[in-house]
């Protein structure tokens, strides 16, 4: 196991090097530049050249990349062109909001998707099975931003049950030592603030978790149908084991491998920022942060943010691979 993990970590090095080159080339292919974003379209050529000299953008492209790669190795992602703050500082400030939203969304998708897919497979070609197929197809096809707008109109505007924007009521005072608002409310022992944070989190999490829920439900259904036809399931029934024991020990456990893979992939995607959901609900996470960086040609934020998110996705996939050995002891990593 340790040898497998070490090999995967070593393979991460060329992946990150290749990705850093692609990101470096991509952000410099964008029209305009940081100088135009700072000074505006009416900036003089002299002022643009001065900004480029200050940022080192007047140097040869390979010199810029070597300096950028050297800073990455040291954990220095540079400073934002607009705010002049270190990228790492802004990332640590924004990332907790995306983590809360992403984990809430994947938790909703898992808790609803796995039971739905499992029950649908057990009632193959029944009313529930056909209904779940149609519902999952709609869930995958339905645009997230449109669902978010509908939810805001129904639950915030018409019914007034839930807040529509932000992470916390602006009139509420709460210290943020960790920037994880749920954890901060628990640390402060403020039950009302905790309830308020959950209320702000509900709609964005459900809207964001709809597509992962549909995918997880379909994969669970397909995996469960495959396991139901296996010989060991028929043997367990012939031995007189109860339905609950067969479902738990033999069917569900053996159908979880592809489901865990999908959950890992979806978790990695959600943690890299959901731009549409965060924009609709004015959620101050990394999605809106990266969108602003694209609009403002903020090279440092784009380069540092994308490399960090790529590293995060690779780590999540590695954890998923390692979990296979715990789900199925027959799997051994050589």
Confidence of residue 111 (pLDDT cuts 50, 70, 90): very high
Asked which of 49, 73, 97 is the last residue of a domain, the reply is 73
Same domain, 69 and 91: no
Instruction: With beta carbons less than 8 A apart as the criterion, state whether 90 and 289 touch.
Output: yes
Of 133, 149, 130, the residue nearest 214 (C-alpha): 133
Residues 104 and 60 in one domain: no
Name the phi and psi angles at 79, rounded to 5: -120, 150
Q: Are 140 and 215 in contact (CB under 8 A)?
A: yes
Within a domain: residue 320?
no
Q: How many domains does the chain have?
A: 2
pTM here?
A: 0.78
Q: Can you give the three-state secondary structure of 291-303, one letter per residue?
A: HHHHHCCCHHHHH
Query: Residue 318 domain-assigned?
Result: no
Confidence of residue 287 (pLDDT cuts 50, 70, 90): confident
Q: Is residue 78 part of a domain?
A: no
188 and 67 housed in the same domain: no
Looking at the structure, tell me whether residues 118 and 229 fall in a common domain.
yes
Terminal CA-CA length for the chain: 7
Q: Any idea what the Cα angle at residue 309 is, between residues 146 and 102, rounded to 5°?
A: 45
Query: Which of 269, 281, 309 lies closest to 293, judged by CA?
Result: 309
* CA 104 to chain centroid: 10
**238 and 185, same domain (yes or no):** yes
The CATH number covering residue 242 comes to: 1.10.3720.10
pLDDT per position as a tens digit, 213-271: 888 988 888 888 888 877 777 787 888 777 778 777 778 777 887 888 888 888 877 87
Q: What average pLDDT is seen over the chain?
A: 80
Flag whether 317 is in a domain: no
Of 73, 98, 129, the one marking the end of a domain is 73
Judge contact between 100 and 281, C-beta under 8 A: no
Assess if residue 321 is contained within a domain: no
Q: CB-based contacts of 98: which residues, under 8 Å, 6+ apart?
A: 271, 272, 273, 274, 278, 285, 286, 287
128 & 29 share domain:
no
Same domain, 58 and 186: no
Residues 112 and 12 in one domain: no
- Give 108's pLDDT tier (boundaries 50, 70, 90): very high
Query: What is the pLDDT at residue 104?
Result: 92
Angle at 269 between CA 266 and CA 273, to 5 degrees: 135
Q: Which token pair is 297?
A: 């040609």
Dihedral sign for Cα atoms in the order 14, 17, 23, 29 = negative
The pLDDT of residue 45 is 67
Cα–Cα dist 303/69, whole Å: 10
Angle at 289 between CA 267 and CA 151, to 5 degrees: 65
Query: Would you say 99 and 180 are in contact if contact means Cβ atoms under 8 Å apart?
Result: yes
Q: Which domain holds residue 33?
A: 2-73
**What pLDDT score does 328 carry?**
65
332 found inside a domain:
no
Same domain, 38 and 147: no
Q: What's the rounded Cα separation, in Å, for the pair 267 and 286? A: 15
Pair 216, 95 in one domain: yes
* pLDDT at residue 333 tops 70: no
Q: Looking at the domain assignment, is residue 24 inside a domain?
A: yes
DSSP 6-61: HHHHHHHHHHHHHHHHHHHHHHHHSSS-HHHHHH-TT--HHHHHHHHHHHTTTS-H
Alpha carbon 201 to its chain's center: 15
> Is the same domain home to 21 and 129?
no
* Per-residue pLDDT tens digits for 172-204: 888 888 888 888 889 888 888 899 899 999 999
Backbone φ and ψ of 12, nearest 5°: -65, -30
Last residue of a domain, one of 16, 41, 73: 73
| Cα–Cα dist 13/20, whole Å | 11
Q: Is residue 207 part of a domain?
A: yes
DSSP string, 69-114: HHHHHTT---B-TTT-SBHHHHHHHHHHHHHHHHHHHHHHHHHHHH
CA 59 to chain CA centroid, Å, is: 36
Query: Is 95 found in the same domain as 63?
Result: no
């Amino acid at each position: 196991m340790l040898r497998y993990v070490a090999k995967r970590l070593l393979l991460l090095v060329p992946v990150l090097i290749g990705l850093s080159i692609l990101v470096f080339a991509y952000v410099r292919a964008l029209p305009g530049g940081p100088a135009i974003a700072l000074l505006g379209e009416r900036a003089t050529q002299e002022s643009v050249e001065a900004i480029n000299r200050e940022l080192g953008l007047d140097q040869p492209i390979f010199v810029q990349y070597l300096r950028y790669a050297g800073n990455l190795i040291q954990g220095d992602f540079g400073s934002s062109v607009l705010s002049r703050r270190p990228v790492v500082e802004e990332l640590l400030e924004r990332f907790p909001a995306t983590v809360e939203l992403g984990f809430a969304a994947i938790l909703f998708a898992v808790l609803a998707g796995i039971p739905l897919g499992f029950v649908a497979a057990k009632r193959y070609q029944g009313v529930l099975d056909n209904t779940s197929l149609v519902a999952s197809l709609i869930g995958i096809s339905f645009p997230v931003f449109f669902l978010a707008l509908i939810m805001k109109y129904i639950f915030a505007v018409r019914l007034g049950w839930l807040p529509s924007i932000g992470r916390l009521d602006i009139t509420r005072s709460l210290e943020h030592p960790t920037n994880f608002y749920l954890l901060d409310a628990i640390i402060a022992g403020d039950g009302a603030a905790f309830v308020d944070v959950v209320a702000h989190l509900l709609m964005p999490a459900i809207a964001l978790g709809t597509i992962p829920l549909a995918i997880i439900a379909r994969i669970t259904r397909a995996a469960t149908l495959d396991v139901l036809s296996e010989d060991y399931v028929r043997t367990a029934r012939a031995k007189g084991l109860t339905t609950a024991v067969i479902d738990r020990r033999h069917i569900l456990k053996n159908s979880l491998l592809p489901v865990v893979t999908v959950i890992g992939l979806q978790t990695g995607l959600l943690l890299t920022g959901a731009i549409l959901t965060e924009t609709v609900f004015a959620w101050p996470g990394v999605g809106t942060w990266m969108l602003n960086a694209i609009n403002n040609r903020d090279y440092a934020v784009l380069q540092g943010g994308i490399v960090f998110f790529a590293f995060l996705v690779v780590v999540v996939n590695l954890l998923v691979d390692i979990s296979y050995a715990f789900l199925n002891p027959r799997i051994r990593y050589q």
